Chain A
Amino acid sequence: MDNKYIENMLSKMDKDLSSHGISRRQAMKMAGLSGAGIFMGGATSASAEEEKTVKSDAKAKIVIVGGGLAGISTAARLTLNLTDPDITIIEPEKTSATYQPGQTLVAAGIWDEDEILYQRDDFIPDGVKVIEDRAVFFNPQENKLTTEKGQVVTYDYLILAAGVQLDFERIKGLEEAGRALSAGNNDKLLDALGDSICSIYTAQGSTKTWEIMQKYIAQAKSGSPDKKTKFIFTHPNTPIKCGGAPKKIIYLTNARLKEAGARDNAELTFYPNGGAMFGVPEYHDAIVGQFKREGIKHHYRHNLIEVDKEKKIAVFDAMWQEKGPWDPVMKDFEVIPKHEKVRVPYDFLHISPAQIAPREIGESDLGSAKGWVPVNKETLQHIRYMNVFSIGDVAQVPMGKTGGSVRKQYKVLVDNLIAHMNGKKLEGKYAGYTVCPLITDIGTVMLAEFDWTVMPTPSFPLDPTVERWIFWLMKVYALKPMTMYGMMSGRA
């Protein structure tokens, strides 16, 4: 990042702040101390409260399926809150503790993959057992599960934190990619995607995204405004983790193109499946404004269904509605849904893949008709099995597939689980908080925070729809230590 960029950002930020009567110093203090301070578990009221927590003597065998951020944070907090914990984590992947929010930054060449790669075993709390295997058969009637290698595991309490699978397989032409997980070895997926298709949804893939992005930025640089290099970005028709990521990668590509002086030779187009940029109207409006300002095109209601890798064509299923004939009974016109296949040539294609719960869970007795784990969205307890809880991406909780949601969820889950072990009422309630630090440029972030009220719920006394440098600092410097050392130790 050159100095001009930073100066530019700073002057923008100062103008912004002065309209609120805050100096940059004060803002840094706010973001750095009260903001990051809370996250780091410093001397704040939140952590003071925690110290008062009385450890529970309740005993039970707790099994956690999945050793990602949600699984490990929950195990850590249970260890802190139980005098005699008996916890087992089932997780086959050694790098399951990888810092996923950093993948966008890796994909834009701001971080290296090493900076997000973490070993699971460094974060497993003392006394917690690990089974390096995958749970594939669930028998919740008998409180049993079986792993891929045939080990039968019994439990008193089961916590499902298995995350989501990235379903590249459903896209015609990419079947060989199969379904991928974010961490671990994804060579097969990268081979299937080739050299012009990329996805930041895997750790390895984010490094590859940066390679491919540089290649096409170079192509744009040597091109001309008449023959633009086409950058295409997608958003699938399933719930996804971090709904902001498909947009972050657009903004970062845009920033890198501008930096290379090649923006005029490139065309950026976003094809989301939905009909809006964001579920919260305030943030939707802000993003539409940003797209307009940056000259990024978008076409709503386009779902990627096929890729022709040789001819470099992405096929979308485009949906719309038409006014039909008059219905004399309803006294209104009928609405006829229509759709057709749209073929879009691309140079650079970024896929945000469809995401599903692992089928062994989604299609088991623990799954719902929609293939997720149905839980009470406030207590995170399974709706049928009272000794089963679920957290993170795999839980059927509206909106919350982010690490920011997990940060609120795991405390609720631990409180409720211990309450249930003691035969008390479940009083912990998750309010749907989630956060998306939406990177809008190299150096600015719009901190989109919201909950089930679908209203912005800002943590800072600033207009939440404005992109700010202080949030960029928070995203790049404060959130990772907060997540890796605060949450994973069960404290933040």
Chain B
Amino acid sequence: MKKIVFFMLFASMGLVASKGEIPYAIGLKLTPQPAKIYTVECADCHGTDGKQTSFSGFPGVIMYAKIAGMDTATLAKTIKEYRGGVESKDYQPLNKYGYGAAMKAPTRDLSWDEIDAVAKYINGLK
């Protein structure tokens, strides 16, 4: 009997949780949710803590810089440039350190509001 009560309790908690979850998708111009954007677009390469410096499978090889804690304004500016923004020459994405194409894909759907929010989030990663 106790088991059933417990089970029902957990089941109902699950229901509440799924109801309360706010949907988010990149590219829809919703109110920015930087943590979700970071998880989807950045964490694969930069790590959930923003300290990963190589693709998984190449431990010890430094392929790019640690981004956690970087200056917010610099981050925002760089990401906007990667997105194919103001500084780009001849309509190509900025090709900093050879990562132009790799950075274009995750940034192209972000609005500037979302980029600003993500930059702030990365700055806050410790």
Contacts and interface: CB of A to CB of B under 8 A. Distances in A.
B27 A359 contact: yes
A311 to B, nearest CB: 13
Interface string B27-41: 111110000000000
Interface string A92-117: 00000000000000000000000000
Interface in A169-187: 169, 172-173, 175-176, 178-179
B22, B27, B29, B86, most chain A CB atoms within 10 A: B29
A150 B21 contact: yes
A150 B112 contact: no
A103 to B, nearest CB: 21
Contacts of B23: 136-137, 146, 148, 150
Nearest to B109: A359
A149 B22 contact: yes
A150 B91 contact: no
Contacts of A360: 25, 28
A358 interface: yes
A174 to B, nearest CB: 10
Majority secondary structure, B binding face: loop
Contacts of A148: 22-23, 30-31
B115 to A, nearest CB: 9
A23 to B, nearest CB: 54
A339 B29 CA distance: 32
Interface in B5-43: 19-23, 25, 27-31
Given A150-B21, A150-B23, A173 B86 contact: yes
A472 B103 CA distance: 53
B46 interface: no
A173 B91 CA distance: 11
A178 B25 contact: no
B80 interface: yes
Nearest to B86: A173
A45 B17 CA distance: 57
B113 interface: yes
B111 A169 contact: yes
Nearest to B80: A175
Interface string A426-456: 0000000000000000000000000000000
B47 interface: no
Nearest to B20: A150
B22 A150 contact: yes
B104 interface: no
Interface of B: 19-23, 25, 27-31, 80, 83-86, 88, 91, 111-113
Going nearest first, the 6 A-B pairs with the smallest beta carbon separation are: A176-B112, A150-B22, A360-B28, A178-B111, A137-B23, A146-B23
